[in-house]
């Protein structure tokens, strides 16, 4: 009995970090919000490091509604992932992004400014549609380093077999690639 209790305790302790990691993973809309924050940080640093403040102001003004939506989604992600510690975690996240972008701009100012100018040009030309397209850029996800949540498990139906009362989980009938259970 004592050994079983220790084994159960060890199993639970091993599972806790995995559960926390899954809770802190980002859903698709949250990933887009995280990516938006990375992009916005890159634009801010480009504006400051490369003297592009007027371009930054024009882009942010044009994209204000979309950026506000993404900002709200970002705050919601941090509340979901960190609960009471959300604000401090979000502040730390934004600070880390800014510091990393500042270091990148210092390492190769000419290349950083050229990439920033190209981003401004694309965003000025297409506005919200271009922002939405850019939020799927994998380099943005690499900068925030927050994993995507695994896809939800396919829904399952419980079907009782007539007769023995056995319960079997089977995919919903008619789901793509799933055989339909035969009527018995």
Give the bridge partners for 158, in sequence order.
169
- The pLDDT, as a whole number, for residue 151 is 83
- The pLDDT, as a whole number, for residue 110 is 97
Query: Domain containing 119: what range?
Result: 25-144
Instruction: Answer yes or no: is 50 within a domain.
Output: yes
- The pLDDT, as a whole number, for residue 3 is 52
Same domain? For 96 and 166 the reply is no
With 0.75 as the threshold, say if the pTM is over it: no
- The pLDDT, as a whole number, for residue 155 is 31
The total number of structural domains that make up the chain: 2
Digit-by-digit pLDDT tens for the chain (184 residues) are 555 454 444 444 443 343 344 458 999 999 999 999 999 999 999 999 999 999 999 999 999 999 999 999 999 999 999 999 999 999 999 999 999 999 999 999 999 999 999 999 988 877 677 778 878 877 788 888 999 998 876 333 333 444 455 544 444 444 444 444 444 4
Instruction: Answer yes or no: is 20 within a domain.
Output: no
Q: Which two tokens stand for residue 52?
A: 């592009």
CA atoms within 13 A of residue 171's CA, in its CB half-sphere: 10
pLDDT digits (tens, 9 = 90+) for 119-148: 999 888 776 777 788 788 777 888 889 999
Same domain? For 67 and 127 the reply is yes
Give the bridge partners for 36, in sequence order.
none
Instruction: Answer yes or no: is 9 within a domain.
Output: no
* Sequence-distant (≥ 6) Cβ neighbours of residue 102 within 8 angstroms: 45, 49
- The pLDDT, as a whole number, for residue 23 is 53
Same domain? For 139 and 161 the reply is no
- The pLDDT, as a whole number, for residue 118 is 93
Same domain? For 108 and 165 the reply is no
- The pLDDT, as a whole number, for residue 41 is 97
Distance separating alpha carbons of residues 56 and 106, to the nearest angstrom: 19
Same domain? For 108 and 37 the reply is yes
pLDDT digits (tens, 9 = 90+) for 31-55: 999 999 999 999 999 999 999 999 9
Same domain? For 107 and 183 the reply is no
Instruction: Answer yes or no: is 12 within a domain.
Output: no
- The pLDDT, as a whole number, for residue 126 is 72
Distance separating alpha carbons of residues 99 and 105, to the nearest angstrom: 10
């Amino acid at each position: 009995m004592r050994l079983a209790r220790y084994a159960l305790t060890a199993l639970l302790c091993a599972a806790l970090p995995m559960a926390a990691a899954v809770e802190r993973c980002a859903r698709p809309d949250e990933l887009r919000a995280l990516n938006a924050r990375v992009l916005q940080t890159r634009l801010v640093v480009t504006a400051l490091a490369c003297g592009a403040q007027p371009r930054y102001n024009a882009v942010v003004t044009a994209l204000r509604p979309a950026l506000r939506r993404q900002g709200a989604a970002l705050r919601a992600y941090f509340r979901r992932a960190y609960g009471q510690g959300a604000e401090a975690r979000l502040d730390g996240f934004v600070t880390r992004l800014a510091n990393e972008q500042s270091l990148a701009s210092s390492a190769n100012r000419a290349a950083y400014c050229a990439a920033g100018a190209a981003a401004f040009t694309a965003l000025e030309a297409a506005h919200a549609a271009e922002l939405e397209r850019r939020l799927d850029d994998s380099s943005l996800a690499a900068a925030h380093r927050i994993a995507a949540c695994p896809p939800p498990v396919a829904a399952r139906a419980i079907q009782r077999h007539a007769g023995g009362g056995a319960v079997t989980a089977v995919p919903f009938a008619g789901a793509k690639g799933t055989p339909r259970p035969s009527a018995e």
